[in-house]
Structure 1
């Protein structure tokens, strides 16, 4: 399964910076794991960046992600 991080921006849009990172179940998706619809033009990052972004990830997305991704997938920091 290939997940993808997608940025949610605040009221100022992209110019105001990322408010929260959400996790998509598949690359290119616009519905986050938490059910929120995210702008299809929002910045994306690979799933390996989860937990390593300057802004936090959505807690609900993160919790669901941890249940879907096998522990010990080769990354000692997960």
Structure 2
């Protein structure tokens, strides 16, 4: 299985182990292994803190995102 096939089959999501490994390998280009492991650990902590309470963004939903035949109330917040 090629890397591209693996990414497609996994749905382009990265788990914590993969993220840590990517951080570690990246840090190895400039640090010794022990320091790279520490930096990867810190990166994972920062990432988890950042996405523990992900910000929400209000956005408009458009008519083409609803099934055919859906009716809309112009005065309703349900269209947001």
TM-score range, shorter chain: under 0.3
Higher strand share: 1
Q: Which has the higher contact order (CA 8 A, sep 6+)?
A: 1
Higher helix share: 2
When the two structures are superposed, what TM-score results if normalisation uses the length of structure 2? 0.23
